[in-house]
Chain A
Amino acid sequence: MTAVHLDNVSKSFGGVQVIKGISLSIQKGEFVSLLGPSGCGKTTLLRMIAGLEEANGGSIHIGGKDSTRLPPERRDIAMVFQSYALLPHLNVLENVMFPLRMRRLGNRAEQRERAEAALKLVQLSHLAQRRPRQLSGGQQQRVAVARAVVSSPQVLLLDEPLSNLDAKLRETMQEELIQLHRQTGLTTVFVTHDQEEALSLSDRVILLNAGRIEQEGTPAELYAAPRTRFAASFMGSTNLLEVALEPTAGGTIARLPGGQSLRLDGAAGQGNATVMFRQEDARLTPAPTAEVAATVVTRVFLGSRTRYVLDFGGHMIRCLPPADQLFAVGERVALDIPPDRIRVLSE
């Protein structure tokens, strides 16, 4: 069953088209991330689902109902804002009860019970009587989440809820969000600019670029098989090379202008193209042949691994090889990439 369906939705602000005819469907219970750089339209899209922005074209269906012209209070949604937006004049429990009051769900006693249950879900029952200003950032964020899940909405919307937290707290909250999603089963739409976050939380990722969907799929698909240059460089740390493809028996050779080459699997095409491979797929060995020779330019010690910046025929390449390999700056190494880990990109 489709929880959210957008059909050719578009939006302009003062003559500038910010969302250009986007269609997408989100199934009941799915955790979907809207991912993209700033300005790509992901927050605008989320706000359109919420009814905080009105679509200029297309339609929005929530829970099977045409909600395009409905104001936010008549849509079956809940939203966690980036700044949490807790009501300062109410305490934590009253904040969590607020949507139940406004949407008139149950009597006062039932509302109180549901709110207390939601607070228990985020482990903040002991702070029920406090005011928002007495809470830490992480605690405020939890209250915002409890307040959003309490009304069991058709769809839960989160607008970069973790971006104001420090790294450690963010990791913890990510894990808790996954738990929460499993426990509540709520359809969730999550906006973020952090691709790692999107990959770790979502059932499906929708990558947006300049108001259009660049690519959508499972985290694994998006990471391993990006289709365009943009998708490849946005997801993970990628190396992009301009090559000339030459088909051979058993595969394809990607040749660089300087003469170096890499092997690809299968018939990957012919002529000029862009290929990509991930940092961590590169293997380095000493004693290179001319075709795969690279010089170590910089070495960055990261603790668990070491990142190398190599000069590969004039191209700067970043590699994150296995930890047991250690090379000195200036050393010549062989760049070895498994052929199935090099992909050809369409623009």
Chain B
Amino acid sequence: MVEAVPSPIRAAAGLYLAAILLFVLGPLIVVCGVSFTAGDYVTFPPQGLSLRWYEAILSSSSYTGAALISLKLAVAVMVGATIIGASAAIVLHRGRLPATSAISALFLAPLVLPTIIFALGLLTFWSATIGQTSLWALWVGHTVVAVPYVIRTTLAVLSTSDKYLEEAARTMGAGPWRAIRHVVVPQAMPGIAAGAFFAFNISFDEAILSLFLRSPEITTLPIQIYTQLEFSPDPSIAAVSTLMIALTILLIFVIDRVLGIQTVAG
């Protein structure tokens, strides 16, 4: 079209985009900036540039301890959520079970239910039945929250795949389990892999469940940051946060490579 968009509007749109990006990414940029400060206080722009705060967190046992716990947990959640989520997605995709919509609702409910209610429920239920909360309780909570994401990414891939492939494999001599192994899983793999990385990210960043189920022995990295925030914020928080942001960005790029963000965001 000739002059589809009038030029003043084009300019305004450009400014608008810049403003949006500034608003949305501002806090994250600021955090990164603060982390490199040479001074003692949390200021932006930073006073001088230095890596001292990164050195500080790497030598702090509370931070490294919390990071290790978060890492262990995230890996365990990634494994659990991927297995459960991928299986659920395969079954839901087939839609053959009698209560498919009910099962689908159950698996996707954690997305919809306010996490605080779930956290409260899990805490009371665990305390009443098993006793003291442990890393296992946190694993259950994180996995439940991560499973819907794995299901979504896996279903996104499965729904675009040829639905006759499984049948074709059966006519070629593959039994139902071998058909899943040789055909369905390879087909769904980009979705499963993306879901796995999502699950890792979700668990690593998760704060609400970790807050409710915490104890001195199970303090995850986000909760470590949270307690620092409540007392005396210093640039060490910025350093940890920047590392966490970097991890998230890395995971986003991996997910995009494996699956493509548009599949996930659509």
> Main secondary structure on chain B at its contact with chain A?
helix
Query: CB of B171 within 8 A of chain A?
Result: yes
Q: Is the CB of A81 within 8 A of B164?
A: yes
User: B163-179 interface mask toward A, CB cutoff 8 Å, 1 = contact, 0 = none?
Assistant: 01101111111111010
Residues of A close to B187: CB separation below 8 A: 88-89
- Complex Cα distance, B175 from A104, in Å, reads 12
- Complex Cα distance, B167 from A78, in Å, reads 11
- Complex Cα distance, B183 from A87, in Å, reads 7
Query: CB of A147 within 8 A of chain B?
Result: yes
Whole-angstrom distance between the Cβ of A276 and the nearest chain B Cβ: 39
B residues 1-28 in Cβ contact with A at 8 Å: none
Given A88-B187, A89-B187, the answer on whether A102 and B172 have CB atoms closer than 8 Å is yes
Residues of B close to A51: CB separation below 8 A: 170-171
Residues of A close to B233: CB separation below 8 A: none
Given A87-B183, A89-B186, the answer on whether A103 and B173 have CB atoms closer than 8 Å is yes
Q: Is the CB of B162 within 8 A of A78?
A: no
Count of CB-CB pairs between chains A and B under 8 Å: 62
Query: CB of A151 within 8 A of chain B?
Result: yes
Whole-angstrom distance between the Cβ of B179 and the nearest chain A Cβ: 8
A residues 181-235 in Cβ contact with B at 8 Å: none
Q: Is the CB of B171 within 8 A of A77?
A: yes
Q: Is the CB of A102 within 8 A of B162?
A: no
A residues 276-329 in Cβ contact with B at 8 Å: none
Q: Is the CB of B164 within 8 A of A102?
A: no
- Find the residue from A52, A88, A102, A147 having the highest chain B CB count within 10 A: A102
- Find the residue from A73, A79, A83 having the highest chain B CB count within 10 A: A73
Q: Is the CB of A71 within 8 A of B173?
A: no
Given A71-B176, A89-B187, A102-B178, the answer on whether A52 and B162 have CB atoms closer than 8 Å is no
Choose among A83, A88, A89, A99 the residue that contacts B172 (Cβ–Cβ < 8 A): A99
A residues 114-160 in Cβ contact with B at 8 Å: 147, 151, 157
Q: Is the CB of B164 within 8 A of A83?
A: yes
Q: Is the CB of B167 within 8 A of A85?
A: yes
Whole-angstrom distance between the Cβ of B167 and the nearest chain A Cβ: 5
Q: Given A50-B171, A52-B167, list of 6 further CB < 8 A pairs?
A: A72-B171, A73-B175, A83-B164, A85-B165, A103-B173, A151-B172
Give me the 8 closest cross-chain CB pairs, A-B, nearest first. Answer: A102-B173, A103-B173, A85-B168, A99-B172, A72-B170, A79-B171, A85-B164, A102-B174
Interface residues, chain B, CB within 8 Å of chain A?
162, 164-165, 167-176, 178, 182-183, 186-187
